[in-house]
Chain A
Amino acid sequence: MNAKGKVFKYGDNVDTDVIIPARYLNSSDSNELATHCMEDIDKSFVSKVNKGDIIVATKNFGCGSSREHAPIAIKASGVSCVIAETFARIFYRNAINIGLPIMECKEASIAIEAGDEVSVDFDTGIIKDITKGLEFKGQPFPEFMQKIIKAEGLLNYIQSR
């Protein structure tokens, strides 16, 4: 499994309220949620994002509310991977459970800049910044989580057992 795309870069503590503001939580439709993705931190995200693009942020990405609408909105907007130094734990779980690829890598989260072309190899954990000619090693998932991701989500995994 691989991801490749242009980078949207954010800082520390990107919370789920700015990823998908609560005023839109009266909907649970993924495509509708995607039209407001990142709205309160980056108004232009929705108009600029292309299928396959990658979000890179620094510490504690996805903190705050447990709303699964946040990873759902990111996934539905076409983002192929989120790379961060650390993820807030509920966001981390939710991303795995719905099959949004995420990767923890401190070096990559600092060095990669907005607009860079980046590729991610999920099997090896290798992150490449093609624009800068840099390579990083991300943290691979434990085997149990890889099984959930391979099954494309927790419920599929439960049913397949």
Chain B
Amino acid sequence: MGMTMTQKILAAHAGLKEVCAGQLIEADLDLVLGNDITSPVAIKEMEKMNLNSVFDKDKIALVPDHFAPNKDIKSAQHCKCVREFALKNEITNYFEVGQMGIEHALLPEQGLTVAGDVIIGADSHTCTYGALGAFSTGVGSTDMAAGMATGKAWFKVPGAIKFNITGKPNKWISGKDVILHIIGEIGVDGALYESMEFTGDGIKYLSMDDRFTIANMAIEAGAKNGIFPVDDKALDYIKEHSKRTPKIYEADADAVYDKEITVDLSTLRPTIAFPHLPENTKTIDEIKEKISIDQVVIGSCTNGRIEDLRTAAEILKGQKVSKGMRLIVLPATQKIYLQAMEEGLIRTFIEAGGVVSTPTCGPCLGGYMGVLAENERCVSTTNRNFVGRMGHITSEIYLASPAVAAMSAIKGYIAAPEV
């Protein structure tokens, strides 16, 4: 029986010729990732069990990014715990404030993730690296601890849904609209326990930043991973960023899929997820009333990359945010920050009346740098609009693309640029 792309990667890492959906396997890991929230729990577990060493100091990445730069004393203790562990174990890929960025933008940029890898990360958005043709998935702290100690993880081999991507998207339609559209169609548990395998002619129109956004939010459909075929764009990206050799896996022609869904990019419209689930989507045309907004956040592991900032700046250039609007822009890594500075994007944001923050996950999970008050509304390029996610439990989050976010900041209500 044919295997999906994901199944082939897992089989190779489990030393098996063939695997099938539902099979329990143990796979070798190419990278184990943790952040300042999840790593301390893993480190404590390792200490409790007297697991005093790591399997490979080059195959662990520790990125304090959630509440870093330290937001309060308790967070500072967590970051200190991660720092001390990294030093003690001589972890090669520990990223201190100043080098760090939001983990899922940082790791591909640093060349730590390439096609064919098996990666686990104690962060649900670890599925982002599927954009490069890797199998990567989010786990908890205990799995991270076990991964750091042994270099292995257990997996139930997932089945897959095949997404046949066709057509060419219109201007202002980005990866965010694609994935919000898909989640709106299949629901937040529409791909539960499964792989989302993207394929088809339309993929050539999706930039790498679009693909990172799409793979990033596979978890928001309940998926184990999202994965793209490795084309020239992906190989060019890997070549530019990594010294490692990618390994290309392709799904077998007779691979079995639980479902096949076609997404015609040419028909997509700016798509917004209403509170309090990413599946509550509406296109801009379906929003008849003016929904007033207090804050706009542009950033995160979903949409804090250079293309996202360029899109937002293109719309904000020479404009002002509406009266009373708080626009917060967070470039996802130091490299992106510098690039945005050199391209004049930071100037554009500041002149428009926004603030630009150092890289951090902060506001996305209601940590800091933009927490919402009672009944406030935010258009955010982040990934979750759950109750209380960004602050007060009565606050509302509308998930959208950088283009919709920027336009909404100018108008003061949810709006999209005209095509």
Contact residues, A109-158 vs B (CB, 8 A)? 142, 144, 153-156, 158
A67 → chain B, closest Cβ, in Å? 7
Residues of A within 8 A of B41 (CB): 28, 68-69, 72
Q: Is the CB of A13 within 8 A of B189?
A: yes
Residues of A within 8 A of B193 (CB): 89
Contact residues, B39-90 vs A (CB, 8 A)? 40-41, 44-46, 48-49, 51, 66-67, 71-72, 74-75, 78
Q: What is the CA–CA distance of A68 and B141 in the complex, to the nearest angstrom?
A: 6
The reply to whether the CB of A77 lies closer than 8 angstroms to some CB of chain B is: no
Q: Is the CB of A86 within 8 A of B45?
A: no
Partner of B149, one of A40, A64, A69, A158: A158
Q: Pick from A1-9, A16-24, A45-53 the stretch touching chain B.
A: A16-24
Q: What is the CA–CA distance of A97 and B45 in the complex, to the nearest angstrom?
A: 11
Q: What is the CA–CA distance of A59 and B46 in the complex, to the nearest angstrom?
A: 33
Q: Is the CB of B74 within 8 A of A27?
A: yes
A76 → chain B, closest Cβ, in Å? 13
Q: Pick from B250-258, B381-389, B403-411 the stretch touching chain A.
A: B381-389
Closest to B279 in A: A13
Residues of B within 8 A of A27 (CB): 74
Q: Is the CB of A26 within 8 A of B140?
A: no
Residues of A within 8 A of B75 (CB): 26
Q: Is the CB of A26 within 8 A of B189?
A: no
Q: What is the CA–CA distance of A86 and B222 in the complex, to the nearest angstrom?
A: 11
Residues of A within 8 A of B189 (CB): 13, 59-60, 63, 86, 88
Q: What is the CA–CA distance of A94 and B45 in the complex, to the nearest angstrom?
A: 13
Q: Is the CB of B141 within 8 A of A17?
A: no
Q: Is the CB of A65 within 8 A of B124?
A: yes
Partner of A66, one of B40, B124, B366: B124
B72 → chain A, closest Cβ, in Å? 6
Q: Is the CB of B188 within 8 A of A60?
A: yes
Partner of B192, one of A60, A66, A156: A60
Residues of A within 8 A of B219 (CB): 64, 90
The reply to whether the CB of B166 lies closer than 8 angstroms to some CB of chain A is: no
Closest to A85 in B: B189
Q: What is the CA–CA distance of A156 and B146 in the complex, to the nearest angstrom?
A: 10
> In the complex, which of the residues A59, A69, A72, A155 has the most CB atoms of chain B within 10 Å of its own CB atom?
A155
The reply to whether the CB of B8 lies closer than 8 angstroms to some CB of chain A is: no
Contact residues, B93-140 vs A (CB, 8 A)? 122-124, 126, 138-140
The interface residues of chain B, by DSSP majority, are classed as loop
Q: How large is the interface on A (under 10, 10 to 19, 20 to 34, 35 or more residues)?
A: 35 or more
The reply to whether the CB of B277 lies closer than 8 angstroms to some CB of chain A is: yes
The reply to whether the CB of B393 lies closer than 8 angstroms to some CB of chain A is: yes
Partner of A97, one of B78, B142, B393: B142
Residues of B within 8 A of A64 (CB): 124, 219, 384, 386
Contact residues, B147-174 vs A (CB, 8 A)? 149-150, 154
Given the known A-B contacts A28-B40, A89-B193, are A66 and B123 also in contact in the complex, defined by CB atoms under 8 Å?
Answer: yes
Given the known A-B contacts A17-B365, A22-B366, A154-B143, are A142 and B122 also in contact in the complex, defined by CB atoms under 8 Å?
Answer: no
Contact residues, B12-43 vs A (CB, 8 A)? 24, 37-38, 40-41
Q: What is the CA–CA distance of A13 and B142 in the complex, to the nearest angstrom?
A: 23
- 21 sample A-B contacts, Cβ–Cβ < 8 Å, listed by A number: A22-B367, A26-B67, A27-B74, A64-B124, A64-B386, A66-B122, A66-B140, A68-B142, A69-B41, A89-B222, A90-B138, A90-B139, A90-B140, A93-B139, A94-B140, A97-B143, A144-B154, A153-B142, A154-B146, A155-B49, A155-B51
What 3 pairs between A and B have smallest CB-CB spacing? A26-B74, A94-B140, A68-B140
Other 16 A-B pairs with CB < 8 A, given A17-B386, A18-B387, A158-B150: A13-B277, A15-B386, A15-B387, A17-B387, A25-B66, A25-B365, A26-B71, A40-B388, A41-B387, A60-B188, A63-B188, A66-B126, A94-B139, A97-B146, A155-B51, A158-B149
Residues of B at the A interface (CB closer than 8 Å) are 24, 37-38, 40-41, 44-46, 48-49, 51, 66-67, 71-72, 74-75, 78, 122-124, 126, 138-143, 145-146, 149-150, 154, 188-189, 192-193, 219, 222, 224, 277, 365-367, 384, 386-389, 393
